[in-house]
Amino acid sequence: MFSSTMIGLLPISLALLIGLVLVYFILHFFFVKQEPTNLPHGSMGWPFFGETIGYLKPHKSNSMGSFLEKHCSRYGKVFKSHLFGCPAIVSCDHELNTFILQNEERLFQSSYPKAVHGILGKLSMMLVSGELHKKLRSVAVSFISMSKSMPAFLHSVEKLSISVMESWKERREVVFFKEAKEFTLYLMLRHLLSIEPEETLASKILEDFLTFMKGFVSLPLNVPGSPYAKAVKARTRISSTLKEIIKEREKDNVGYETTSALLAIVVYFLGQHPNVLECLKDEHQAIRENKKYGEPLNWEDYKQMEFTSNVISEALRCGNVVKFVHRKALQDVTFKGYLIPSGWKVLPVLTAANLDPSVHEDPSEFNPWRWADQAMNRKVNPFGGGLRLCPGAELAKVEAAFFLHHLVLNYRWKIKGDDFPISCPYLEFKRGLLLEIEPREENGKQSLIGVSSL
């Protein structure tokens, strides 16, 4: 039963409640910015974390993953979310992705999260913009375009490919992704460690090397001040200097990691498609037959590897090496009626277009022959685009093509167990891509393995 006092208080409480609701609506109306109606649909997820955990959840790399599949079917190919600590627009729309990439520095700008700065180093090209980016990029582009077709570089790619395969001679199994990572890292170090003689670092290493060499030919007497003792110390210094350089350079691992991932996915798809492998082998056999025994490959040979190039492009489309890139909107942008608010993070998902049935026929089918259609190049962005188009694209392809040349001529392989590529979002293999390998005896004459002239 209500007491009379409580009944007396009822109208006051009711008036207070109505007052509070009114104050809330007035404050909301005047002080809280209304969300524009043309923002893409979506969910901002949990406070602070947003939807980042779901967005980064590992999935088979030849699929979109359940997060994107569910969000696209619920909200459409462009949706809003809260990712990496910011309100964000995610785009799985190829047209919008291309528009974002082409409008770098005008409407959008590269914007990687703080954590990435620590890993890449603050002068990494991907993290700088404007004039500094222009300068760094022009140095990189001219260095890469000069070296990619240089006989010395091509020779070094071929030599290293052969030595990797030589090391497999007595083996029946290889963890291929590990081998591919070593191959591309060694290639990069060989290239990057050719330090110019005028650099202080070069003279320091040279001095240590001379001390080391002197000690090398002296009595191994480890007493303080002896040439041997000095050499031991010099050796330690050389190794730590090199380690320092390697550590520094490893930070800029954009190139070597992605190239090894490319090699691994090509080998993975070839392992599943023997008909493609046969065609690829025919192309390389024809190239080898036109050369003298032991003659190294050159740029013209690479240009003849048309089917190889299509296999590589198709593996990039189906395997999805780089899933998405980070941008931010520099101003309010309206595209296809959607608003992308100024300051928001923008994530073009490059892999979405690769697997979009409205862009490609049977997108999940690995079919290198679809690349006979010249228009295919406009339907994918595996190397990004615009001002930040990957300067290493051709370099990665030539490394992969030369490695494949020797691989298909010298070995057969089978993928062991149920290994498959995973997008974490960087590419990984469940079991490191464990292969059962067998030398191809029938190609003994064409094989360059063991040719010392190379």
Q: Which residue ranges make up the annotated binding site for heme?
A: 390
d(CA 300, CA 204): 40
Q: Please name which of 276, 253, 301 lies closest in space to residue 157, comparing C-alpha atoms.
A: 301
User: Which burial class, exposed, middle or buried, applies to 67 when counting CB atoms under 10 A from its CB (0-12, 13-18, 19+)?
Assistant: middle
Closer residue to ligand HEM, CB minimum distance, 40 or 392: 392
Q: Minimum CB separation from ligand HEM for residue 399, in Å?
A: 7
From the CB of 446, what's the least distance to ligand HEM, in Å? 27
Minimum CB separation of residue 389 from ligand HEM in Å reads: 7
CB of 148 to ligand HEM, least distance (A): 9
Q: Which is nearer to ligand HEM, 61 or 447 (CB)?
A: 61
Give the nearest distance from C-beta 210 to ligand HEM in angstroms. 32
Least distance CB 20 / ligand HEM (angstroms):
48
Of the candidates 54, 38, 56, which has an alpha carbon nearest to the alpha carbon of residue 46? Answer: 54
CB of 277 to ligand HEM, least distance (A): 20
Instruction: Decide whether 381 or 447 has the Cβ nearer to ligand HEM.
Output: 381
Return the number of the residue (77 or 397) whose C-beta is nearest ligand HEM: 397
Smallest separation, CB 296 to ligand HEM (Å): 21
By beta-carbon proximity to ligand HEM, the closer residue of 64 and 315 is: 315
Compute φ and ψ for 103, nearest 5 degrees: -105, 30
Separation of alpha carbons 49 and 86, rounded Å = 9
Residue closer to ligand HEM (CB basis): 65 or 227: 65
Min dist. Cβ of residue 270 to ligand HEM (A): 16
Give the position of tokens 């030849």.
62
Helical packing angle, 393-410 and 254-272, nearest 10°: 40
In one-letter notation, the amino acid at residue 276 is V
Residue nearest ligand HEM (C-beta atom): 392
The count of other CB atoms within 10 Å of the CB of residue 2 is 9
Distance CA(300)–CA(297), nearest Å, equals: 8
Relative to beta strand 345-348, strand 86-91 is parallel
Burial class (CB in 10 A: 0-12, 13-18, 19+), 435: buried
Distance CA 429, CA 177 (A): 8
Nearer to ligand HEM, 209 or 299 (CB): 299
Q: Which residues, in sequence order, are bridge partners of residue 348?
A: 91
End-to-end CA distance of the chain: 101
Binding site for ligand HEM (CB under 6 A): 110, 125-126, 137, 140, 144, 254-255, 258-259, 262, 321-322, 325, 382-384, 388, 390-392, 395-396
Q: Which is nearer to ligand HEM, 205 or 264 (CB)?
A: 264
Choice between 66 and 142, CB closer to ligand HEM:
142
Task: Tell me how far apart the 2 most distant CA atoms of the chain are, in Å.
Answer: 110
CB 396 within 8 A of CB 234: no
Judged by CB, which is closer to ligand HEM: 236, or 377? 377
- Kindly state the smallest distance separating residue 380's Cβ from ligand HEM, in Å: 11
Show binding-site residues. Answer: 390
